[in-house]
Structure 1
């Protein structure tokens, strides 16, 4: 890991939409242990550590740091990974980084989730005092009270408390400086990315009112309160956080499944879904998300035109089982039997007569089944 980059952990297929996950002060990538693996089924998930936390070098931050400087480190990481545009979810300070990115680098953020965070963190006084305390006495005392600040009574995650205790005091104090100086309320109305706010109903650090303030200011934003969650909701209520994030970030998969059903029909899609097993789950998601959610929804070509192109490609490669399926789809997309015959005749010129001969046989069978009579 280069000293100039934040420590990170990447999971999921590189072809999937990228999703960056930001941590809370005093934690590491472990904060996302119960959420990230599931998100990585449909996304290229990249978790990152704050400077001086987890595996990130403390030297990446200095006294008087700002959230903008942390956001710049996140962009440096994204650039190094070849990620141009990405979804982003962050907790507390990680959420503040997300708000800054969405407000100042809107071209990079496709969708945003802000979890147990704030637009101002109750002013600078308490954070300046904490920074001075940590620089003077280290983190042992604060780590001893982490459970009461992070979780509901009786709940703990020892690994996260250990992260708090082992963080670099200087870097931790510099992050406190960033929180002290942070106030983005005047810029919230300019955020254009689809935005979800998640609040822990039992969170004393950033109570639901802080998230509601953001939701009221960001155009089109939505707010969900998570019962039984305090400040580190992804660790305490991972199922609820996962469900909310999936609903927010899986837009391509949802839209793709809708289009897939419209074009191929419920019977075919239901049959494909019923045959799905863990071995094929990512492939099925890839089809719904990429082929149907991004390509077939592109308005540049009509569905009728896409059907004609698809028929030709399938004939060229001899995929006659798929051809049968897409002849049915072509009928749903408005092609008449004469239109289909014209496409097949065109393919005889450019794909070869034997290929077109097989395609005509397949099409004749399918069209007869569709009409319920011999052809």
Structure 2
């Protein structure tokens, strides 16, 4: 049975309704605040979901043992609650194990994977069994000094002891049973033989000074996942997203959002969708989007970026003029399907019927009477049909 996880949703600050969703999954002994640097930066352009895993932070801590599968199914339940079909999954340490499981077992829910300071197998089971017993007997407080020493490099520990002390307190505050039951899950974790099942684009980030999952351990992930990109950060130990916050965030942005070209495409698409809705109306655009398939998606993206995000968005002509030009051109080429849609959209957008009639008369002289005659017939039918219950076509544009 899944656990309802505490989570926080941030962004997108750019207001885009199509912003990618990014899910952040932290390490054993952490809560979602460990991702604060990434939340602040990624929420400009993304809808960021930071999660407290079961037994951690504000999430419930049912009696264990837990399994990585159960921890992963908790995350899928969060996506369902948020009505998110697929997301970019970022996982560090234990969160990285969950990300691997999702990549192999729920590939349709995963757009990309970012695996930070994690492993396909975290050492031998007996060490986790001993740690679970210590947590249940004496609490995570008894383990906090040893754990935080692995989280940060020696240089950072000496340079900023207050920073390190804050995260020691985070570990110590974790539920004893929640911490122990997650140790049980990691004791049974060995995904080495299943890495080849992961098809999502994957970024693998290691800390050069990480004693828990050193680069040699993470090389197994990079080698086992087809096409994975492998980067080593230094100085950084086990919680590299905090020690190398800027570098990690930049790599995540590039992996999730792409470079400048990809960002430009997304911006043009977002602008195009705004213009498209203002010209054609929400009902028509919603129907077109709902009818999108994997086959037609590239064409929908092309139209949104070029026709609507570029040409229709140019300041040289107002939208009324562009509507009339579109009606004239479609009449001239005899494209009845698109012509009917644009006549109806123009009438709903406030263009006077007499003005459309003048355009059709003018077109008759230069493009031929038969085409304009058909245009008048379509306009006449649109005027007769125009009502709150007026139906639209299934045009892709």
The two structures share one fold, judged by TM-score above 0.5 = yes
Question: Within 2, Cα distance between the matches of 1:132 and 1:259?
Answer: 50
Question: Within 1, Cα distance between the matches of 2:177 and 2:187?
Answer: 15
Partner of 1:47: 50
Partner of 1:178: 185
SS of 2:55's equivalent?
coil
Cα distance change on mapping 1:10 and 1:309 into 2, 3 Å: closer
**1:121-179: CA deviation from partner (whole Å, max 9, x where unpaired):** 11212111111111122122211233311001143443322111111111100000111
Equivalence map 1:145-164=2 (5 Å): 145-153=146-154, 154-155=156-157, 156-164=163-171
Question: Within 2, Cα distance between the matches of 1:175 and 1:45?
Answer: 24
Cα distance change on mapping 1:325 and 1:32 into 2, 3 Å: farther
Aligned-residue offset at 1:338 = 7.2
* TM-score normalised to structure 2 length: 0.70
Question: Within 2, Cα distance between the matches of 1:234 and 1:305?
Answer: 36
Equivalence map 1:43-192=2 (5 Å): 43-59=46-62, 62-153=63-154, 154-155=156-157, 156-192=163-199
Question: Within 1, Cα distance between the matches of 2:114 and 2:310?
Answer: 40
Question: Within 2, Cα distance between the matches of 1:158 and 1:356?
Answer: 76
SS of 1:125's equivalent?
helix
Structure 2 gap segments, 5+ residues each: 158-162, 277-288, 347-352, 360-397
SS of 1:241's equivalent?
helix
Question: Within 1, Cα distance between the matches of 2:25 and 2:98?
Answer: 8
From 36, 39, 45, the counterpart of 1:36: 39
Question: Within 2, Cα distance between the matches of 1:258 and 1:313?
Answer: 16
Tell me the matched-pair count.
Answer: 321
Partner of 1:266: none
**1:303-331: CA deviation from partner (whole Å, max 9, x where unpaired):** 5898678899889xx993468999xxx9x
Aligned-residue offset at 1:113 = 0.4
Partner of 1:231: 238
Cα distance change on mapping 1:289 and 1:249 into 2, 3 Å: farther
Q: Superposition RMSD on alpha carbons, in Å? A: 4.0
SS of 1:95's equivalent?
helix
- Name the larger-Rg structure: 2
Answer yes or no: is 1:217 the counterpart of 2:247: no
Partner of 1:17: 20
Aligned-residue offset at 1:7 = 0.9
Assess if the C-alpha contact under 8 Å between 1:127 and 1:180 holds in 2. Answer: yes
Assess if the C-alpha contact under 8 Å between 1:308 and 1:343 holds in 2. Answer: no
Cα distance change on mapping 1:356 and 1:47 into 2, 3 Å: farther
Partner of 1:203: 210
Assess if the C-alpha contact under 8 Å between 1:67 and 1:179 holds in 2. Answer: yes
Aligned-residue offset at 1:48 = 0.6
* TM-score normalised to structure 1 length: 0.73
Structure 1 gap segments, 5+ residues each: 261-283, 331-336, 359-375
Partner of 2:286: none
Assess if the C-alpha contact under 8 Å between 2:275 and 2:313 holds in 1. Answer: no
Cα distance change on mapping 1:338 and 1:47 into 2, 3 Å: closer
Question: Within 1, Cα distance between the matches of 2:261 and 2:310?
Answer: 25
SS of 1:76's equivalent?
helix
